[in-house]
Amino acid sequence: MNKTASTLIIPVESQVREMDAKLLLSCVAAERGFPVIMGSRAFIHFKVDAIPRGVYLAKSMRKLSIRMFSILRKLGHEIVAWDEEGLLREPDQEYYRWRLSPYTVAQVSHLIAWGEDDAQALRNYPDYPGTPIHITGNPRIDMMRKELRDYYQPQVNEIRERFGDFVLVNTNFSKVNHFFPELSPLKKILEAEKSEKVNQFDTAWGRHKLQLFESFQMMLPELCRALPDLTVVVRPHPAENHAPWLAVAKRCNNIRVVNDGSVLPWLMASKVLIANSCTTQVEAAVLDRPTVSYQPVASENIDHQLPNAVSHQTFSLDELCSKAVAIVRGDLGPLDYGVRRARLNQHIAALDGRLAADRIIDVLETAAYHEKQPPTSSMPNYLSGWIRNRMRTAKKHVNMRRPGHRNNLAYHTHRWPDISVDEVERRIARLGNMLDRFKNIRVTRHSKHIFRITG
What CATH number does the domain containing 300 carry? Answer: 3.40.50.2000
What would the DSSP string read from start to end of 414-427?
HHS----HHHHHHH
- DSSP E strand stretches across 161-271: 166-170, 231-235, 255-257
Residues of the chain with pLDDT > 70, as a percent, come to 95
Do 332 and 342 touch, CB atoms closer than 8 A?
no
Adjacent-strand bridge partners of 135: 113
For the chain, how long is the longest CA-to-CA vector?
68
**pLDDT attached to residue 190:** 63
Residue 2 lies in a domain: no
Residue 1 lies in a domain: no
The reply to whether 78 and 124 lie within a common domain is: yes
Burial class (CB in 10 A: 0-12, 13-18, 19+), 432: middle
Total domains, the chain: 2
- Cα separations in angstroms, 59 against 11, 86, 207, 368, 397: 8, 10, 28, 22, 22
Q: Determine the Cα–Cα distance for residues 99 and 367; give it in Å rounded to an integer.
A: 26
Residue that finishes a domain, picked among 305, 323, 345: 345
DSSP 8-state symbol, 64: G
Q: Which residues contact 388 (CB under 8 A, 6 or more apart)?
A: 67, 70, 71, 74
The reply to whether 280 and 173 lie within a common domain is: yes
Q: Determine the Cα–Cα distance for residues 219 and 10; give it in Å rounded to an integer.
A: 39
Residue that finishes a domain, picked among 285, 319, 345: 345
The reply to whether 259 and 203 lie within a common domain is: yes
The reply to whether 382 and 340 lie within a common domain is: no
**pLDDT attached to residue 195:** 62
CATH of the domain at 62: 3.40.50
Please report, in angstroms and rounded to a whole number, the separation of the first and last CA atoms in the chain: 5
Own/partner pairs, 283-289, CB within 8 angstroms, 24+ separation: 283/140, 283/144, 284/310, 284/311, 284/334, 285/310, 285/311, 285/334, 285/335, 285/340, 285/344, 286/141, 286/144, 286/145, 286/344, 286/348, 286/351, 287/144, 287/149, 288/334, 288/337, 289/334
Residue 181 lies in a domain: yes
The reply to whether 276 and 362 lie within a common domain is: no
Provide the phi-psi class of 449: left if phi over 0, else alpha when psi is between -120 and 50, else beta: left
Angle at 323 between CA 158 and CA 314, to 5 degrees: 115
Residue that finishes a domain, picked among 321, 345, 369: 345
Q: What is the mean pLDDT of each run of 10 residues along the chain (455 residues)?
A: 88 92 98 97 96 97 96 98 94 94 98 98 97 98 96 96 96 83 66 67 85 95 96 91 93 92 94 96 97 95 93 97 97 95 96 97 97 95 97 90 77 85 96 96 96 96
Q: Which residues contact 40 (CB under 8 A, 6 or more apart)?
A: 11, 12, 15, 412, 416, 449, 450
The reply to whether 166 and 245 lie within a common domain is: yes
The reply to whether 91 and 207 lie within a common domain is: no
Q: Which residues contact 211 (CB under 8 A, 6 or more apart)?
A: 296, 297
Residue 437 lies in a domain: yes
Provide the phi-psi class of 33: left if phi over 0, else alpha when psi is between -120 and 50, else beta: left
**pLDDT attached to residue 259:** 85
Provide the phi-psi class of 284: left if phi over 0, else alpha when psi is between -120 and 50, else beta: alpha
The reply to whether 21 and 56 lie within a common domain is: yes
What angle, rounded to 10 degrees, do the helices at 279-286 and 337-345 form? Answer: 120
Q: Which residues contact 190 (CB under 8 A, 6 or more apart)?
A: 206
Residue 242 lies in a domain: yes
The reply to whether 163 and 134 lie within a common domain is: no
The reply to whether 291 and 367 lie within a common domain is: no
Q: What is the pLDDT of residues 211-225, one digit of tens each?
A: 999 999 999 999 999
Q: Which residues contact 200 (CB under 8 A, 6 or more apart)?
A: none
Q: Determine the Cα–Cα distance for residues 394 and 323; give it in Å rounded to an integer.
A: 53
Angle at 370 between CA 367 and CA 376, to 5 degrees: 80
Provide the phi-psi class of 288: left if phi over 0, else alpha when psi is between -120 and 50, else beta: left
DSSP 8-state symbol, 346: T
Q: What is the pLDDT of residues 319-361, one digit of tens each?
A: 999 999 999 999 999 999 999 999 999 999 999 999 999 999 9
The reply to whether 439 and 377 lie within a common domain is: yes
Which residue segment(s) compose the domain that 118 sits in? Answer: 7-143+352-454
The reply to whether 242 and 383 lie within a common domain is: no
Do 143 and 354 touch, CB atoms closer than 8 A?
no
**pLDDT attached to residue 206:** 83
Do 89 and 95 touch, CB atoms closer than 8 A?
yes
